[in-house]
Copies of this chain bind each other. A is one copy, B any other.
Amino acid sequence: MKQYLKLDEWNIIEEGFDPENHEISESIFSIGNGHMGQRANFEEHYSGRSLQGSYMAGVYYPDKTRVGWWKNGYPEYFAKVLNSTNWIGLDLEFDGVRLDLAQAQVRDFVRTLNMKEGYLKRTFTAVLDGGRELRVEAVRFVSMAEKEIGAIEYRVTPVNVDGTLKLTLYLDADVKNKDSNYDEKFWDAVSEANEDGFASLTVKTKKLDFYVTSSMKCVVTAGGRPVQGTADLLTAEKKVAQVLLVPASRGQEIVIRKYVSNVTSRDYGVAELFETGRKRVEEAAAKGFSLLLQEQAAVWAGKWKESDIVIEGDVAAQQAIRFNIFQLNQTYTGEDERLNIGPKGFTGEKYGGSTYWDTEAYCLPFYLSTAEERIPRNLLVYRYKHLEKAKENARKLGFAKGALYPMVTMNGEECHNEWEITFEEIHRNGAIAYGIFNYVNYTGDKAYWGEYGFEVLVEISRFWEERVHYTPGKDKYVMLGVTGPNEYENNVNNNWYTNRIAVWTMEYTLQVMKELEALDPARLQDLKTKLGLRDEETAKWREIIAKMYYPADDSRGIFLQQDGFLDKELIPVSELDPKHLPLNQKWSWDRILRSCYIKQADVLQGLYFLGHLYDRDTKKRNFDFYEPMTVHESSLSPCVHSILACELGYQEKAYEMYLRTARLDLDNYNNDTEDGCHITSMAGTWMSVVQGFGGLRVQDGVLVLNPFLPGHWSAFSFKTMFRGACLKVEVGNGRVTVTNETAQEVSVRIQGRDRKVAGHGALTETLAGAPV
């Protein structure tokens, strides 16, 4: 836990430079636009500790697997997001002394992430040897309007001395990943171009042959007049640089504008890259920095109009929720169905930038509420496109049929390598099926079933069918040897959540089949033929549905996390000496495993997902049993607890859980923000507000709202898209108001009453007391 950032509603602000915080800030102040992302590394040389990170979405490296002890079935590689060409680089030397904030005395340092308009700004005065002062103001962004463009405006003013400023503006692909398994560099040189005012660099990955061309145009003015003539053009393998010598007079501002395009072979033929990159960057330079920045602000204004959450009376909470929304929008725009959402987005290397079940379980609702329908739909299509790989994955693990989606993937292939997770954390398959339900339930887009969804559902159901088996001793089907979402248990039998989501998948698949039969029988017939779906299979699913074993404790009226859970010593976290926390840093793995403590409570996860199938008392009994043993050492845990707590009327608990998720990175809660921000859990924070405090659900095609106002806030409001409409929900002053920002009438079930909100109309109700 580290709190060094200033509270502000629209900005993240760091005042004063402390090298100890720099890597954390590099994560937090990251910028991105879905196509690329950039950690808040300094443009100028910095010799202190830093994690360099320039990332291109979808460009990855299959880094050969490294393990202590090989297990049969491990994947050959771990797909890693690549640290790519450093395109921000801009070195300054003032009369022979290089500007380096690790060496200079730094005054008046302010770093600001302007979330409203989407740029990073940094101002400081550096005092070089002999007291020579340079005032710097640097602004940069990656454009949401022109996805391949990044732009930097870097202003330098000698405060108290004249001299010569030597500028080196460069592109450098001689970079590496800090987390490279075998300490290799991942890039090979392809070509360089370097001419007065323009340079270009093409590199390719050592494996998989991703090509990336970075091109730059630089415009320098001194005292408002263009600086002409490059002193030197330096070209080396994987590096191009341009050197300018600029006479610098005291008080006179030198402005460097660096425009960069980053284009990749994912979007263009290799032969087109150079010309495309050049064209893009020339267009950007012609447009100029100010106009590009105006466009940027305009796109962000649109994003905020769709997705902003306003919290009144709590600046820390307001800043936090906007930070989370900002980062989510920076990470995934939904424009490219080949992409997905990595746990660290573009803010770090860790977890490889790959896709986890986080997408379906936590991120999907955010995009359902805040983006056009095609955007969450693309997240689902991504999995459809990986279906063949998921089937191959199941075959590799010995299954005769069905599909097992990977735990971690970049291209559909598994790349995780801990047996207890890779092979056993198969509940992920259920989340992928649930994502389809969630999307269709929210949007009403039943066409998705016939187009993509049904095939995925059938293959997942087939996997479950083979993965369970009948055991005569119980006269039931069981599922042995799994790891549930609670990763503080490994290799358990009959994890309730996994058993339940498996059966639910089969139930939903059968339901979809029935609906398709009515909606589009010809398409269903085509699909059944394509899939070779036999009646014996669906009959088997029905049998499994009827005879699945669910561990439970009838005396307590709860579901059991897994077989044997009640044999554990059940001691609430509150009775544990806090010196033992966090368990994952203080306890050896076996001690965690055999304890009752829960990383994230998967019974509660199941009751959240399938909330429409369980009554409030069941939820309450299970919440009351599991919540006290949950240590929330997954960033994905508190949001679900917060939402359930809201539903159950546990207001203080709900707010406590909200706080654990909302400022996770801003306050470096888990002491790991330097590795990158927890992007996917940010979606969970959003859920805590909208589904938790807002009580938003969709049931039977109706938008349900059951809001309550946390005692610490005076009011809050959020937007949500729903089936073509956009609604604003405001909660405060004892009232809840729903405003329809679109023309079409919308049905809502607010505080239990069915109402209609007319096009461009609004309705207001008195805020009910929270349920007791």
Contact = CB atoms under 8 A, between A and B. Distances in A.
A615 interface: no
A181 to B, nearest CB: 9
A72 B398 contact: no
Interface string A86-114: 00000000000000000000000000000
B564 A398 contact: no
A568 B480 contact: yes
Contact of A72 (B66, B473, B492, B588): B588
Given A397-B588, A567-B474, A588-B396, A68 B71 contact: no
Contact of A68 (B66, B398, B471, B569): B66
Interface string A64-78: 011111011100000
Contacts of A585: 72
Interface string A543-578: 000000000000000000001101111000000000
Interface in A50-80: 65-69, 71-73
Interface stretch (A417-425, A438-446, A698-706): A417-425
A584 interface: yes
A460 interface: no
A593 B72 contact: no
A588 to B, nearest CB: 3
A586 B73 CA distance: 9
Interface size class for chain A? 35 or more
Interface in A398-455: 398, 417-420, 423-424
Contacts of A490: 420, 490-491
A72 B493 CA distance: 24
A397 B589 CA distance: 9
B418 A591 contact: no
Given A398-B587, A563-B563, A588-B398, A491 B593 contact: yes
A590 interface: yes
A19 interface: no
Nearest to A424: B590
Contacts of A417: 68-69
A473 B589 contact: no
Given A396-B588, A491-B490, A418 B478 contact: no
A419 B419 CA distance: 11
A338 to B, nearest CB: 27
A712 interface: no
Contacts of A481: 590, 593-594
B396 A73 contact: no
Given A68-B418, A493-B564, A493-B567, A73 B588 contact: yes
A374 interface: no
A469 interface: yes
Given A65-B68, A67-B68, A491-B593, A480 B588 contact: no
Contacts of A566: 471, 473
A419 B483 CA distance: 15
A421 to B, nearest CB: 8
A653 to B, nearest CB: 28
Interface string A481-498: 100000000111100000
Nearest to A418: B69
A398 B564 CA distance: 23
Given A67-B67, A491-B490, A594-B480, A72 B584 contact: yes
A469 B568 CA distance: 8
A88 to B, nearest CB: 32
A414 to B, nearest CB: 11
A398 B71 CA distance: 28
A72 B480 contact: no
A471 B424 contact: no
Contacts of A563: 563-564
Nearest to A489: B491
Contacts of A569: 469, 471
A67 B591 CA distance: 20
Interface in A580-613: 584-591, 593-594
Contacts of A65: 68
A342 B423 CA distance: 32
A397 B473 contact: no
Nearest to A583: B72
B567 A480 contact: yes
Given A493-B567, A563-B563, A569-B469, A71 B593 contact: no
A69 B491 CA distance: 17
B473 A567 contact: yes
A707 to B, nearest CB: 41
A72 B420 CA distance: 16
Contact of A66 (B66, B420, B492): B66
A423 B590 contact: yes
Contact of A423 (B68, B72, B588): B588
A589 B72 CA distance: 6
Nearest to A582: B72
Given A398-B591, A469-B569, A490-B491, A72 B564 contact: no
Interface string A13-28: 0000000000000000
A65 B66 CA distance: 12
A129 to B, nearest CB: 41
Given A480-B568, A493-B567, A563-B563, 18 more contacts: A67-B68, A71-B589, A72-B585, A72-B586, A72-B588, A73-B587, A73-B590, A419-B589, A420-B491, A423-B591, A471-B567, A471-B568, A471-B569, A480-B564, A480-B567, A481-B594, A491-B492, A564-B564
27 contacts: A65-B68, A66-B66, A67-B67, A68-B417, A69-B417, A69-B418, A71-B588, A71-B589, A73-B587, A396-B588, A397-B588, A397-B590, A397-B591, A398-B591, A423-B588, A424-B590, A471-B567, A471-B568, A471-B569, A480-B564, A480-B594, A481-B594, A491-B492, A491-B593, A493-B567, A563-B563, A564-B564
**Pairs of residues from A and B, 6 with the lowest C-beta to C-beta distance, nearest first:** A73-B588, A481-B594, A423-B590, A67-B68, A71-B589, A480-B594
